[in-house]
Amino acid sequence: MKKFLALSLLLLSVVAFVPSAEAKTTNGVLTANTSAAPQIRVQVGQNRRYNNRRYNNRRTVRTYTRNVRVGRRIYRETYRVVYRANGTTRTRLLSRVRIGRY
């Protein structure tokens, strides 16, 4: 009977202390998660890495025409607008033709 009680007490103590031995702590912080990669990525500022690329597959080019009055003259201006993938635009005046007065 003494052997049975001693053996059962030994098994209970092993079951109670083994799981706590796996999660070792140092100053209250678990060491199992310190070697893992971080969950979030922090970026300060804009991503300006691809701003200077001349040709981008995702860019959109549109041509706009508008009539502009300068003083008493009216001009037809044609613009080319490039919409880049990073959200910026580039505007270029293609032609300005005088179409009339008043």
What is the rounded distance in angstroms from the CA atom of residue 79 to the CA atom of residue 81? 6
What is the rounded distance in angstroms from the CA atom of residue 94 to the CA atom of residue 79? 5
Return the sign of the alpha-carbon dihedral for residues 26, 27, 32, 34.
negative
Give the model confidence (pLDDT) of 48-67 as tens digits: 666 666 555 567 899 999 99
Give the model confidence (pLDDT) of 20-33 as tens digits: 555 555 555 555 55
Confirm whether pTM is higher than 0.75: no
Torsions phi, psi for 61 (to 5 deg): -115, 125
Contact between residue 76 and residue 99 where contact means Cβ atoms under 8 Å apart: yes
User: Any idea which residue has 């044609």 for tokens?
Assistant: 78
The domain locations on the chain are 56-102
Query: What's the mean pLDDT when you consider all of the chain?
Result: 76
